[in-house]
Structure 1
């Protein structure tokens, strides 16, 4: 009789050997990949909490995104050379509004701003992170120079106001004062303990900006930044010339001249701004997920 032929191999044993070989190959591939991976040192066993460490993405300087400094009416070469001599290396962006200077830290921001002030350059910026002032409203006082009220608050009540502005609104017959304090320096409860300033009874109220439009500077009359951070030349809201509105020699004249578009209206006239369809453009931009256009963009900036 001939020899019996060997039967077919056991499928269970073949599958076992293949799985074992695949596991060995995968372990080798994993070791190779980890050796080639520059971030392999960050891989830790999630169960080994004793060896885990938190990866800190901060540079330790408390760096936060700084607001831009927008410089106008100066040559880029002159500006960048002067800033470089201060030991600062910011990023620049040329825009139709001016030269935008983007700093990497709060220290760089302060250095650049000091340089701009020293050179008397025209520029504007915005509040730094965490430095937005605490704003309150004072009602009941007669119209006077804001500086007088600011000095009175400090001398009589020990309140150091950063700024004081007179606010006039068409829907209100009497003006009121908007006062800026350093954030955390006082509270509305403490302020309301002051029942009168001088011999006049006053009311203290929290400031709530319920206006839907974009901020307009009352110094240069442009849109997109506030008065407090504006270092551009003053422009008159009545005649459009290069002086403050309070110093206008043409106040008695009924004809007004817009400092932005040369129209026969004031630069802050909301009815004229609405005719440009700026509110709908702003909302459409927001709906598309982008940043809203600066209100007044059809004016000359």
Structure 2
């Protein structure tokens, strides 16, 4: 009788039943574990790429912060400083000497000095004040003081009114300005005074 046939295994996972195995082909289901050196190089490459990604993100954040700061400076609206009785050429030379790069406009009221940053505005205002150069300007929009008019007072020195408001009434008064009436021929028994209070420190109800 002929030779005995080999019994087939009933286990479906047995690789001996695969036709590819019989023909000498490698089973595609067999997993191949990468070598340790290959795994280490991949991990190291990921770490390096992540580190440079962090640096790139930090640079982007810094650039965004600079852009926001620059745009905020450009959008800030500052009131002009109006100077009288001084020639335009002299004003330009003076502003350039103190490091202020301003724009100038000649108007009926005088020469407007238009600054682009708050720092230049403060420098210009401080210089004009110390040099006793006549000028006028408006309050910065973000720092406008609360204003109130006091009536019924006799003729008093502005410094005395300011001192009493601060010491006796504990109010953050910034300045006191006497007000003149339209009809100066009429003698009034009381005077009007304009008071400037620090922003968000006073109100009509509180006064």
Q: Same fold (TM over 0.5)?
A: yes
1:133 equivalent to 2:145? Answer yes
Matched-pair contact (CA < 8 Å) for 1:161–1:181: yes
Q: Note if contact 2:74-2:116 (Cα within 8 Å) is conserved in structure 1.
A: no
Normalising by the residue count of structure 1, what TM-score does the alignment of the two structures yield?
0.40
**What is the Cα deviation at residue 189 of structure 1?**
2.9
Alignment match of 1:164 (pick from 159, 171, 176) = 176
The offset of 1:74, in angstroms, is 1.7
Among residues 176, 185, 194, which one is paired with 1:178 in the alignment? 194
Aligned partners of 2:162 and 2:175 also within 8 Å: yes
Q: Relative to structure 1, is the Cα distance of residues 147 and 67 closer, same or farther in structure 2, using a 3 angstrom cutoff?
A: same
**Alignment gaps of 5+ in structure 2:** 1-63
Residue-by-residue CA offset, 1:2-25 (whole Å, 9 max, x unaligned): xxxxxxxxxxxxxxxxxxxxxxxx
Change (3 A) 1:62 1:101: closer
Structure 1 contact 83–115 (Cα < 8 Å) conserved? no
TM-score by length of 2: 0.56
Equivalent pair of 2:73/2:116 in contact (CA under 8 Å): no
1 or 2 for the larger relative contact order (CA 8 Å, sep ≥6)? 2
Structure 1 residues 95 and 135 mapped into 2: Cα distance closer, same or farther (>3 Å)? closer
Contact 1:150 1:164 (8 Å CA) reproduced: yes
Q: Provide the aligned C-alpha RMSD in A.
A: 3.0
Indicate the SS of the match to 1:148.
helix
Name the CA shift for 1:76/1:131 in 2 (closer, same or farther; >3 Å). Answer: same
Aligned equivalents of 1:121, 1:168: Cα separation in 2: 24
- Segments of 5+ residues of structure 1 without an aligned counterpart are 1-52, 192-301
The 1:75–1:177 alpha-carbon spacing in structure 2 relative to 1, beyond 3 Å, is closer
Separation (CA, whole Å) in 2 of partners of 1:142 and 1:73: 35
Q: Are the aligned partners of 2:84 and 2:134 in contact in 1 as well (CA < 8 Å)?
A: yes
Query: Whose helix fraction is larger, Structure 1's or Structure 2's?
Result: 2
SS of 1:70 mapped into structure 2 = strand
